[in-house]
Amino acid sequence: MKILLIFTIAGLCLGGCLTPASKINDVRLGMTKSEVIAVMGTPGSITADQTAEYLNYALAEGMRTGTAATQTPFEIKIVNGKVVSYGRAGAPRGGGGGPIIIPPPVIIH
């Protein structure tokens, strides 16, 4: 019985760290940081580099299907106080990223 209680409490605590993936549908380019936080909730972390600030979230996908939620890292890029991009963390960012084309191997006879 104690083990069930421990797992229940742990699940509730961990579940509170995840943001439902559907909330991202309300994020728009040009929103302020305050507007994003009002829609998405407090980010799991905030990181920055010399040009931008990143609001980092863990999105919970699969919660509506009754299956265990999968956690997807997601970031929102803020420049000069406004959202300029958002998407899965680690996805290629702008700047000519496009697909990588690998040519077929050269066959020498």
Q: What is the pTM of this model?
A: 0.62
Q: Is residue 99 part of a domain?
A: no
The rounded distance, in Å, linking the Cα atoms of 69 and 12 is 13
The rounded distance, in Å, linking the Cα atoms of 77 and 83 is 6
| CATH at 51 | 3.30.1450.10
Q: Is residue 41 part of a domain?
A: yes
Q: Is residue 49 part of a domain?
A: yes
Q: Is residue 30 part of a domain?
A: yes
Range of the domain at 45: 18-88
The set of residues, in sequence order, having a beta carbon less than 8 Å from that of 37 and lying 6+ positions away, is: 43, 55
* Domain tally, the chain: 1
Q: What is the pLDDT of residues 11-40, one digit of tens each?
A: 434 444 566 666 778 899 999 999 999 999
Number of neighbours of residue 20 by Cβ within 10 angstroms: 14
Q: Is residue 60 part of a domain?
A: yes
Q: Is residue 67 part of a domain?
A: yes
**Tokens representing residue 78 in the block:** 């803020």
